[in-house]
Amino acid sequence: MSISEPVQMNFRLEGRTYPYIYASVHDISVGGAGVVLAIPQNVPEGQYVTDGRLVLPEIEPISFEGYIKWRHNRRVGIEFIRMPESIGRLIFQFVIRREREMIKEAARNNLQPSSYC
């Protein structure tokens, strides 16, 4: 795994018939994710997210459901719901590995670690 490996997701909004919405994940936790939409789309706050798929490096794609918690231009916050504990542990372990990698990278470059994911 590398800190430069992107984390991607795609999802649909309940009641919408158009194809998946694609996004890059910039912040992730067990409770949700902050993403940037690949292209501008109408993604209203409070909308139910269905048929979601989170793609973490070195882990099988994770299915999820959630709600749009906030939106600012192409940046969107998604709260995960009904996430099984086992999947939450996978996400938590991914975040810890990513943070350790960031710290090592910062030490190699004599930099302070910053938020990245």
* Domain edges within the chain: 8-108
CATH superfamily of the 8-108 domain: predicted glycosyltransferase like domains (2.40.10.220)
Mean pLDDT across the chain: 88
| Alpha carbon distance 83, 63 (integer Å) | 9
**Separation CA 105–CA 41 (nearest Å):** 35
pLDDT for residue 113: 56
- The token pair at 108 is 């190699």
pLDDT at 107: 82
The pLDDT score that the predictor gives to residue 35 is 97
State pLDDT tens for residues 6-26.
Answer: 799 999 999 887 789 999 999
Coil, helix or strand for 41?
A: coil
What's the pLDDT score for residue 4? 59
Q: Which two tokens stand for residue 38?
A: 């690949």
pTM of the model: 0.83
